[in-house]
Amino acid sequence: MKRVLRLAPVLGLGLSLWLQPLALRAAVAEGEPVAMEVARARGGGGRAGGRSRSRGSGARTGFSSFSGGGSRRASGNRQFSGNRQVDRQFNRQTGRTDRVDVRQSGRTTRTDLRQTNRTDRVSDRNKTRRKAINTWDRNRPNWVNNNWATNRPWRYGWYGGSTWNNWGWWPGRAAAWGVGTLATFAVIDSLVDSAVSNQTSYIVVPDSDYSLYYSSVQANGDVVSFQADDGSSTLSYQADCRAGTLNGAPPQNADEAQLLNAACQVAFGQ
Amino acid sequence: MNRPVLLLLGSALGWVALAWSPVRAETEVIYSLDTTCTLGSGQPQPCQVEAVEVDNTTEYRHRLGARTISYRILDAPYVRIEGRKGDGDPWSSVRNAWISFPTNELCFNDRAFCVVNPTFLADVKADARGSAFEQRDTVGLAFNPDGRVDVACFDDGCRRLLEAIGR
């Protein structure tokens, strides 16, 4: 009998340990009302994983790590081990920064020197940049000779600011290039008139490095083909004035945009 | 029989009982919820959600009739979400996960499975640092085949992302 009495508390401990999880499962399996969704079981004792407690239910969501500053749980373990470590890190970092500054300073000086030399050479090249070749005496279509704007042998008059403002690439790229507007028909008209009276076959496209051989302009529908000089050679281009493309693609820089516009003004502007 | 032997026997009996118990020591139910789940384009149907801590992951078990569809969240060494269609099936990484705060919905794999789980969404906000989730309607995560997050998107960013990939 004494032995049984001694054994009873021990057996009781084992039995209670066995019964506790069963009771927990039963509570869950019966399904609590929605309002009681957070399990009571969390009230006592720590978590199996030993995780720190958050403000929510404590369940992982995965999403919280993408809230900009990491989840509360993730940052819990990161702490400095002491001031000495911070001091050592600071001293090492300061030494590094000094050395990097010295190296960077030397580099900057060398880069400046190289850049100065380059700029000088580019300036020299620009002074010797060739001009477009005047081909007035060669194949010139009749419409160019007299009152060119009204003698263009194709439908014109539809092209203008409202057209290029509708090009899909215009707002973004124009802003990126710092271009507020393209040359108006009045400007191009004046340049061509002046060139005709001077018997010159090209105009220098405003705000660009290109010269446009306006007499080479030929329209077909909304597409215009023409020749232009880019400062080193004469090239043939095709521009779709409705779509705003030069050789099939949107202009890659402000110079190309000005050339595209000038050719379209010559062909379709009014 | 002397006292130390008796104590030893008793504690051994206790441990054996614990090992045989239906809930293993490393799992813990965090919460359970009666709600609705949606499979694909079907109608919402009643389902029971059980959020369970299993080792160092949180498992969300969704019981729809006789079927249990589970997802588990792992946060080390990096955030992963894996799912399985049945209890015996292997776990595999989800392609994407979306939450919609206005509808309290959590969806996986292009809405192949959705569950209304307000507790999950409350946890997302409670665990967040900063205000990235404040005033948000949608948050999405897209995973690469290895299960690592490639893209996290918010609101209009998710719409633009879906447009960009042609969905």
B7-20 tens-digit pLDDT: 555 555 445 444 44
Q: What is the pLDDT of residue A135?
A: 78
Q: Which domain holds residue A177?
A: 142-268
**Which whole number is the average pLDDT over A130-139?**
74
Q: Residue B82 pLDDT > 90, yes or no? A: yes
Confidence class for position A12, pLDDT limits 50, 70, 90: very low
In a domain, A151, yes or no: yes
Residues in chain A with CB shorter than 8 Å from the CB of B149 are 66
> Which residue would you say has higher pLDDT here, B143 or A88?
B143
Q: Residue B27 pLDDT > 50, yes or no? A: yes
Q: Do B79 and A28 touch (CB under 8 A)?
A: no
Complete DSSP assignment for chain A: -HHHHHHHHHHHHHHHHHHHHHHHHHHHHT---GGG-B-GGGGSS--TT-PPP-SS-S---SGGGGSSS--HHHHTT-----HHHHHHHHHHHHHHHHHHHHHHHHHHHHHHHHHHHHHHHHHHHHHTPPPPPP-TTS---HHHHSSHHHH-SS--S-BSHHHHTT-TTHHHHHHHHT------HHHHHHHHHHHHHTT-S-EEPTTSS-EEEEEEEEEETTEEEEEEE-SS-EEEEEEETTTTEETTB--SSHHHHHHHHHHHHHHHB-
Q: Do B29 and A28 touch (CB under 8 A)?
A: yes
Q: With residue B12 as reference, give the H or E element that holds it.
A: helix B3-20
In a domain, A169, yes or no: yes
Q: Distance (Å, rounded) from C-alpha B87 to C-alpha A39?
A: 22
In a domain, A73, yes or no: no
pLDDT by residue (tens digit) across A184-211? 999 999 999 999 988 888 999 999 989 9
**Which whole number is the average pLDDT over A141-169?**
90
**Which whole number is the average pLDDT over A119-145?**
72
In a domain, B135, yes or no: yes
In a domain, B7, yes or no: no
**Which whole number is the average pLDDT over B160-164?**
81
> Which residue would you say has higher pLDDT here, B47 or A231?
B47
Q: Residue A87 pLDDT > 70, yes or no? A: no
In a domain, B114, yes or no: yes
Give the count of domains, chain B. 1
Q: Do B51 and A28 touch (CB under 8 A)?
A: no
Q: Which domain holds residue B113?
A: 24-164
The residue of chain A with its CA nearest to that of B151 is A66
pLDDT by residue (tens digit) across A242-266? 999 999 999 999 999 999 999 999 9
Q: Do A48 and B20 touch (CB under 8 A)?
A: no
**Which whole number is the average pLDDT over A11-23?**
38
In a domain, A183, yes or no: yes
In a domain, A103, yes or no: no
Å between B24 CA and nearest CA of chain A: 9
In a domain, B98, yes or no: yes
Cβ-nearest to B55 among A42, A49, A64: A49
In a domain, B60, yes or no: yes
In a domain, A107, yes or no: no
Question: In this predicted structure, which of B33-37, B116-120, B163-167 has the lowest mean pLDDT?
Answer: B163-167
> Which residue would you say has higher pLDDT here, B162 or B61?
B61
Q: What is the pLDDT of residue A124?
A: 63
Residues in chain B with CB shorter than 8 Å from the CB of A59 are 30-31, 51, 53, 58, 60, 73, 119-120, 123
> Which residue would you say has higher pLDDT here, A74 or A133?
A133
Residues in chain A with CB shorter than 8 Å from the CB of B141 are 62-63, 66
Residues in chain A with CB shorter than 8 Å from the CB of B16 are 14
Confidence class for position B164, pLDDT limits 50, 70, 90: confident
Q: Residue B78 pLDDT > 70, yes or no? A: yes
In a domain, B103, yes or no: yes
What is the interface pTM, i.e. ipTM, of the complex?
0.79
In a domain, B122, yes or no: yes
In a domain, A133, yes or no: no
Q: What is the pLDDT of residue A34?
A: 45
The residue of chain A with its CA nearest to that of B134 is A67
Cβ-nearest to A56 among B33, B122, B149: B122
Confidence class for position A56, pLDDT limits 50, 70, 90: confident
Q: What is the pLDDT of residue B113?
A: 95
Residues in chain B with CB shorter than 8 Å from the CB of A65 are 75, 79
In a domain, B18, yes or no: no
In a domain, A95, yes or no: no
pTM of the model: 0.42
Interface test with B, best of A17, A30, A63 (most B CBs within 10 A): A63
Q: Residue A175 pLDDT > 50, yes or no? A: yes
Residues in chain A with CB shorter than 8 Å from the CB of B35 are 34
Å between A11 CA and nearest CA of chain B: 6
pLDDT mean across residues, chain B? 84
Residues in chain B with CB shorter than 8 Å from the CB of A22 are 21-23
